[in-house]
Structure 1
Amino acid sequence: MTTATERMKAAEVTEEFDLAAPAYDRLVSRSPGYHRDLRASAIRLRLPDRGEGLLLLDLGCGTGASTAALAREYPLARIVGVDSSEGMLREARAKRWSDRVTFRRARAQDLTPEWAGEALGGPADAVFAAYLVRNVPDPDAFLAGALALLCPGGRMALHEYSVADSAAARAVWTAVCWGVVVPSGRVLVGRDDLFRYLWRSVLDFDGREALLERMGAAGLVSVASAPMPGWRYGITHTFVGARP
């Protein structure tokens, strides 16, 4: 029997993000701490010198909220946002950015070291992926592929929901989704398919320990996680690791 998550993936999650793109920033603005949490995860990359001379890949950049968090913390880095949704990228590109920030359309799970060499001039110093690993068809293949995009010693941060280890976190997540997220999506987008998928996909996804194990199995070292404060505690986490 397929899960709700698998059914939505078969129906193309990217198309749902295209439809939601014009309203997406208004939706996330209703989530207290959303942008602050992205900045916290960016800080947890612990990159030196405000990113001077570094190349950062923001995989699954969406409308650019995660890109903005990276640009704020590492204003001297070159940042490339990547997303498969043209609608989300259209919203991201419409914002004001420094000339150090660019965007490309691609499926993050399809990127290769050869692509990095041709498109970027070489491997990245850091990979950031917010709310992405849960949405790719094969998380293990994605993590291995993202690791291959890094230079030796390069760092990775996953900013992700993970509630499987906590009954309390699952209950809070469900209450927030059905009390705020799904109704808001229905009003602002005109349909709630993506937001019901969001709720279910988090419940179906790895717990914190399981995701750390995935990262280690993919070849990342020094893997660790840290929670977010407030109502997101036990729900939203930063997961970090590095390429040997």
Structure 2
Amino acid sequence: MTAGLPRSEVPAAFDAGAFGYDRLVGLNPGYHKHLRLSAARLELPDGGRGLRVLDAGCGTGASTAALLKVAPHAEIVAFDASSAMIERARRKGFPDRVRFLHSSMEDLDPAGLGGSFDAVLAAYLIRNLDDPDAGLRKLRGLLRPGGRLAVHEYSVADSRLARTLWSSVAWGIIIPLGKVTTRDTTLYRHLWRSVLAFDGVSAFRQRMAANGFEHVTECGMSGWQRDVVHTFLGTRPLPADGD
């Protein structure tokens, strides 16, 4: 099983699917609820007042809306490699404290982000990177010491039942609906393949720890996405005494 499209082709696939993307994910029971749950698991105090939060790989803004729901007072910076997805997000009337940037993870310039962040939400991003380890290290570097990362991601490698369910849903629902809504299945066939090729839960927890995160945990979801979609949480360590 290949991992899907080459990284260089992924943004163009999302560009092509952008106009029908919101309608398609809106048909997925639990999609928005589970994004809000991952955002809530960051445990941002006081509605995010005085905090800066990064939405890494924001797409059309569904994850941004999830962050805004749980942290209505936070400053949110959101970026995505797909120009069409970012444009749709910008049209949704987010408040001024939400800023969208068009950038890939690889080309992201920390200097243009306005400083470090108290928390990061990365939804459906790490799986689409050529080098997940470099991506995790970059996100760690954008966090303040003690800041938390929530990775909202598919992971089915550890469960035969989850793999079977995922393929059934992908070919029975997602890919056919993608054909109807966007007249192209490239993005959704990539989604199917990339999920099957991605780390299992144990391997991804180990990957986060190996790239400098501590207190790494995993939390599941409800409904059909149980054992399919997960929240992975990790913290950038505080400096050791004397550092």
* TM-score of the aligned structures, taking structure 1 as reference length: 0.95
The gaps in structure 2 that reach 5 residues or longer are 238-243
Cα distance in 1, alignment partners of residues 222 and 10 from structure 2? 29
Quick one: which of 2, 17, 21 aligns to 1:4? Answer: 2
Question: Residue 191 of structure 2: SS of its match in structure 1?
Answer: helix
C-alpha distance after superposition, 1:172-222 (max 9, x if no partner)? 111110111000111111110110110011000000000000000000010
Please tell me the residue identity of whatever aligns with 1:127.
V
User: For residue 20 of structure 1, what is the aligned residue in structure 2?
Assistant: 17
Q: What is the count of residue pairs matched by the alignment?
A: 237
- Whether 2:78 is the aligned partner of 1:85: answer no
Cα distance in 2, alignment partners of residues 5 and 169 from structure 1? 17
Deviating 4+ runs (over 3 angstroms): none
The gaps in structure 1 that reach 5 residues or longer are none
Cα distance in 2, alignment partners of residues 187 and 4 from structure 1? 25
* Aligned 8 A contact 1:4 1:197 in 2: no
User: For residue 105 of structure 1, what is the aligned residue in structure 2?
Assistant: 102
Cα distance in 2, alignment partners of residues 11 and 221 from structure 1? 31
Question: Residue 92 of structure 2: SS of its match in structure 1?
Answer: coil
- Whether 2:221 is the aligned partner of 1:228: answer yes
C-alpha distance after superposition, 1:120-166 (max 9, x if no partner)? 33111111100010001100110011100111111100000000000
User: For residue 201 of structure 1, what is the aligned residue in structure 2?
Assistant: 194
Report the alpha carbon displacement of residue 10 of structure 1 after superposing the two structures with TM: 5.4
Cα distance in 1, alignment partners of residues 14 and 129 from structure 2? 14
Quick one: which of 133, 143, 163 aligns to 2:136? Answer: 143
Question: Residue 98 of structure 1: SS of its match in structure 2?
Answer: coil
Cα distance in 2, alignment partners of residues 101 and 10 from structure 1? 27
Report the alpha carbon displacement of residue 11 of structure 1 after superposing the two structures with TM: 5.6
Q: Against the structure 1 CA distance between its residues 175 and 151, is the aligned structure 2 distance closer, same or farther, given a 3 Å change threshold?
A: same
User: For residue 73 of structure 2, what is the aligned residue in structure 1?
Assistant: 76
Percent sequence identity over matched residues? 51
Query: Which protein, 1 or 2, shows the higher relative CO under an 8 Å CA cutoff with sep ≥ 6?
Result: 2
- Whether 2:48 is the aligned partner of 1:54: answer no
Question: Residue 75 of structure 1: SS of its match in structure 2?
Answer: coil
User: For residue 163 of structure 2, what is the aligned residue in structure 1?
Assistant: 170
Please tell me the residue identity of whatever aligns with 2:18.
A
User: For residue 187 of structure 1, what is the aligned residue in structure 2?
Assistant: 180
Cα distance in 2, alignment partners of residues 13 and 65 from structure 1? 19
User: For residue 242 of structure 1, what is the aligned residue in structure 2?
Assistant: 235
